[in-house]
Amino acid sequence: MVDNRYATALVIGTVLSLLASVYLSVAVGTQHWYQYRSPPPSNDANNGSDLRELKDDFRSEDLQEIRYSQALFRLNGSLGLWWRCILVPQPDSRMVSECEAFTLAQQFEVKSRQQNYSRSEEDFLRTGLCSLATVCCFLAGVDLLHQVIELPEGVVSSLGWSLYLALVSAPLQMMAAALFIWAARNHRKNYTRMTAYRVA
């Protein structure tokens, strides 16, 4: 017969593990890990053409990190593990999110130490961190990106809700693992004592 404490630990551990898996699955599939909020664009004609050019470049698959980062900064972008998105104004004054998936080649492309990619040496730390695609590596990669490419004036960056879901899933998995280990160890000790008593 199973002691209630062990059954309770197994049930709670299973629920926690299930919640952590759901949270992490949702987080990995969404693009709101890191967000940028830019000030409203000025009415300058050059600014409008620059923004259109950034928007058109953003759709390209062969886009360098510097170009899509500028689009993210200036067009209220959001960044995920596998996605990059910008907000595009529509004629009826609505804002629509336009997203592009990172290709596998882009995930493992060489990162640069300076904004001028043609003459810059490789940044091994950012290249390695960005290809690992884990929560801590993602945050460190974004921080290192901001050291290479400065945010334009007035742009505010923040962690997104998807990243928070991923961060919450880690302690839930740890708590579930601790409950499973506790239940297995204590149940085995009691079972061993019971067997020894029956043999004696």
Chunk the chain into consecutive blocks of 10 residues (it has 200) and report each block's average pLDDT, rounded to whole numbers.
74 94 90 89 63 79 77 87 84 85 73 58 62 70 82 89 90 92 76 51
How much is the pLDDT for 82?
83
Neighbour-count burial of 158, counting CB atoms closer than 10 A to its CB (0-12 exposed, 13-18 middle, 19+ buried): exposed
In sequence order, the 6+-apart residues with CB closer than 8 A to the CB of 139 are 163
DSSP codes joined into one string, 47-111: HHHHHHHHHHHHT-TT--HHHHHHHHHHTT-EE-SSEEEEEEE-TTS-EEEEEEEPPHHHHTSPP
CA distance 199 to 193: 10
CA distance 143 to 127: 13
How much is the pLDDT for 110?
66
CA distance 92 to 145: 35
How much is the pLDDT for 175?
94
How much is the pLDDT for 135?
78
How much is the pLDDT for 15?
95
How much is the pLDDT for 53?
81
- Name the maximum alpha-carbon separation found in the chain: 93
Please identify which residue in the block is written with the tokens 């043609």. 118
How much is the pLDDT for 5?
80
The SS3 of residue 9 is helix
The SS3 of residue 158 is strand
* pTM assigned to the model: 0.72
How much is the pLDDT for 176?
93
How far, rounded to the nearest angstrom, does the alpha carbon of residue 183 sit from its chain's CA centroid?
33
